[in-house]
Structure 1
Amino acid sequence: MIGTRGVPARYGGFETAIDEIGRRLVEAGHEVTVYCRGERHPEREYLGMRLVHLPAVRSKVAETLSHTGLSVTHAAWRRVTRRGPDVALVFNAANAPLLPVLRAMRIPVATHVDGLEWKRTKWSGTGRRYYRSAESLAVRWSDALIADARGIQDYYTERFGADSVFIAYGAPILAETDTAKLAEAGYKPGEYHLVVARFEPENHVHLAVEGYRRSEATRPLVVVGSAPYADEYTKQVQELAGDDPRIRFLGGVWDQDLLDALYAGALTYLHGHSVGGTNPSLLRAMGAGASVVAYDVNFNREVLGEEAGRFFGDAESLAYQVEVAEADPGAAADRGTAARKRAAERYVWDDVATAYERLCEDLKARRLTRKTIRRKT
């Protein structure tokens, strides 16, 4: 497994997926190697997964690609010494220019293409062109593409005429949460609205803050999150909040028990993510039974359906949804129950891991190759 920060999962959706999938593949009898960057785990193994720590260039532009370059070189060298992998799972289409290194050693490759990264405002014209090109290279050089949302599948079909394997994420189903943690943080169940997001424009934290501030809500808005390389946007969000005493910024919360308690205790969880596929934060909120008000894009509608959430597209509609939830908290709680039920039925890590196992077996047996990704060009 190549292309992420690795495990134990401390950062994002890819890392959580590797944690959950990798441990289950080990339990099924497979040998799993995870390439890691960042904080080093004290052991060479984690939940049975072999860890390989390699450095990276510390910059927004080069960090992921530099680490992946070292990782694919290491995996290729292991192949030379006859200890190499049967299959490589590469996460993030941005790593596609490095796939020929694996292909040269006849290592079958599946690329998890992630979301539409080129739509993120943090990338300049050059960065966007790179990501668009990388998508094309992923189609050309992968033996299989992995999409975690039907909307991503549709995008690759329409743009490239390419088939992909649909495998969503799993959701943690939280029957109980640490209410003492919530009390220690100064909050009561049902008495606040919540945002959890990296501070990036496409996650619409600014819209959540602006919409809430326009509302007549009496329960506070709790904002969890931050982002590297986003000082200007963070300043914009704080300026929109102004001196409104109802809006509280907590910064990053790395205590998972507290974060789960915040999800479970929120009257509403305001989810503004718009360019990814199946978003792990949304699944965690649903698994905690949060009543979700989500930005109105196809990815979020796909995950929530029509019964398990409400949607907003601008500040006015968000303000309306917040006020409606405060006027009828019972209905909001019912939507949270429906969301948990939907997550428990549709987003199951055991099923996800089984799908990855089947994918790897198909790659190893050469039932999936570049020829099976049908392309227009």
Structure 2
Amino acid sequence: MKDKITVSMFGQKRLSREGGIEIVVKELCTRMVQDGCQITCYNRSGHHVSGAEYDRKTEYKGICQKFVPTIERKGLAAVSSSFFAALCSAFGKYDVVHIHAEGPAFFSWLPKIFGKRVVVTIHGIDWKREKWKSGFGSKFIRQGEKNAVKYADEMIVLSKGVQDYFKDMYGRNTRFIPNGVNRPEVRKADLITDKFGLTKDSYILFLGRLVPEKGIRYLIEAFKNVKTNKKLVIAGGSSDTDSFTEELKELAKDDNRIIFTGFVQGQILDELYSNTYIYTLPSDLEGMPLSLLEAMSYGNCCLVSDIPECAEVVEDKALIFKKSDVKSLREKMQDACDHPEKVAKMKKQSADFICEKYNWDDVVEKTIELYRGR
């Protein structure tokens, strides 16, 4: 393969912070362009949760962005955009086609039959997610998983558990390349004080998409029985799950300590991470939880469920409760609120630990080696 690699990338909605895949693609592409790769991202058409000004930016830090036709209906947006992205990738002059997630990997055969080198990153076992548990979406994603196994030259996984799954289920070897994290600038509370009345250490933070598998139901139920004057901040937008968001608000309505901020980014996001007392991720299911890496990079004490994908990340540097167990979660939150010295000890060690363990430059170097077939 020639030195200057040309890469087509799809599976993301667009270069944004809408979800973990979008963050990963943005981090990979910006660094790969600096390393001399030519990158084209095939993004979905349609509206951006951050606002209309983000809808159709065609060039971002040297990355070429192209927008493919997208059927804006639940369940069809990913299918339609992935098909057109695969078609463009197959006919385009690319050395490598890098596909993100199991659903888009359904079309991995298309660039493959046109002689492209195909790399698929599995961000999690998506058919297990609640919104894809049945119907067409579930069948499509399961077949996407099988097609990735069959057609991809290389498969990247983000956790050891998923690596074991592909070995046991399909006898398929995969490459373990977890995500990275940047060391951020810690900010004082300013906008979050004006907007939500939040100050340093006055709240517990959940930040992520409002979807059932993130365990937010348990979090609200547990928090309602914690004796504390701290608030619970639930930051994030819905993902085809407006009815679920309403259900959460209904569950929280009789506790005025619980605040829903909606989708956040930029300075507000930085301030929320920088000033929280503890960050919590009570998920039942994760791929590689980027928000957890980010929260620790700000020097936070984190409280996570004991699923392997979270436990692998934090090792002994965080508080861990039993998955799906409201009582266990409540007890850990209460203990953290009652013992600030424990929280302070966790905070002291988390940033150095996580930034040394997960480095984007290492991720890019290993990924480019796969592109070259090494």
Common fold by TM > 0.5: yes
Match of 1:373 in 2: none
- 1:356 paired residue number: 367
Q: Deviations over 1:135-175 (max 9, x none)?
A: 12210111111101111111111111111111111112224
What's the offset of the Cα at 1:77?
2.1
Any idea what SS the aligned residue of 1:243 has?
coil
Of the three residues 1, 7, 13, the one matched with 1:5 is: 13
Correspondence 1:344 to 2:355: yes
Unaligned ranges ≥5, structure 1:
79-83, 368-377
Q: Taking structure 1 as reference, are residues 249 and 341 closer, same or farther at Cα in structure 2, changes over 3 Å only? A: same
- Residue of structure 1 equivalent to 2:4: none
> Is 1:16 equivalent to 2:23 in the alignment?
yes
TM-score of the pair, normalised by structure 2: 0.90
Amino acid of the structure 2 residue aligned with 1:247: I
Q: Which amino acid aligns with 1:325?
A: A
Deviation of 1:299 (Å): 0.5
Q: Report what 1:371 is aligned to.
A: none
The one of 234, 238, 243 equivalent to 2:249 is: 238
Distance 2:355 2:95 in 1: 32
Alignment of 1:171-320 (within 5 A): 171-185=181-195, 186-253=197-264, 255-313=265-323, 314-320=325-331
Please provide the CA RMSD for this pair. Answer: 1.8
Instruction: Map Cα deviations across residues 240-287 of structure 1 (whole Å, 9 max, x no partner).
Output: 22311211222222x322112112211111102332221111111111
After superposition, residues 40-189 of structure 1 pair within 5 angstroms as 44-78=58-92, 84-126=93-135, 127-185=137-195, 186-189=197-200
CA contact (8 A) 1:274 1:299 kept: no
Tell me how far 1:43 sits from its aligned partner: 5.3
The two structures have a TM-score, normalised by structure 1, of 0.89
| Larger RCO (CA under 8 A, 6+ residues apart) | 1
Residue 98 of structure 1, CA deviation: 1.2
Q: What is the aligned residue count?
A: 356
Letter in 1 for 2:368: E
Superposed displacement of residue 75, structure 1:
1.9
Q: Secondary structure at the match of 1:58?
A: coil
Shift of 1:292: 0.8
Q: Secondary structure at the residue paired with 2:210?
A: coil
Rounded to whole Å, the distance in 2 between the matches of 1:53 and 1:27 is 23
Q: For residue 150 of structure 1, what is the amino acid of its counterpart?
A: K
Letter of the 1:134 counterpart: G
Aligned residues of 2:181 and 2:297 also touching (Cα < 8 A): yes
Query: Contact 1:147 / 1:167 at 8 angstroms: preserved in 2?
Result: yes
- Over residues 108-151 of structure 1, what are the superposed CA-to-partner deviations in whole Å (9 max), with x where a residue is unaligned? 10111221111111124223333223212210111111101111
Q: List 4+ stretches of structure 1 deviating above 4 A.
A: 39-43
Aligned equivalents of 1:155, 1:307: Cα separation in 2 = 26
Q: What is the CA distance between 1:42 and its match in structure 2?
A: 5.9
- Cα distance, 1:43–1:294 mapped onto 2, change above 3 Å: closer
Which amino acid in 2 is paired with 1:199? L
What displacement does 1:18 show? 1.5
Identity %: 28
* CA-to-aligned-CA distance 1:184-216 (integer Å, 9 cap, x gap): 232111111111122211111111000000221
Between stretches 314-323 and 221-230, larger displacement belongs to 221-230
> Residues of 2 paired with 1:36 and 1:232: CA distance?
26
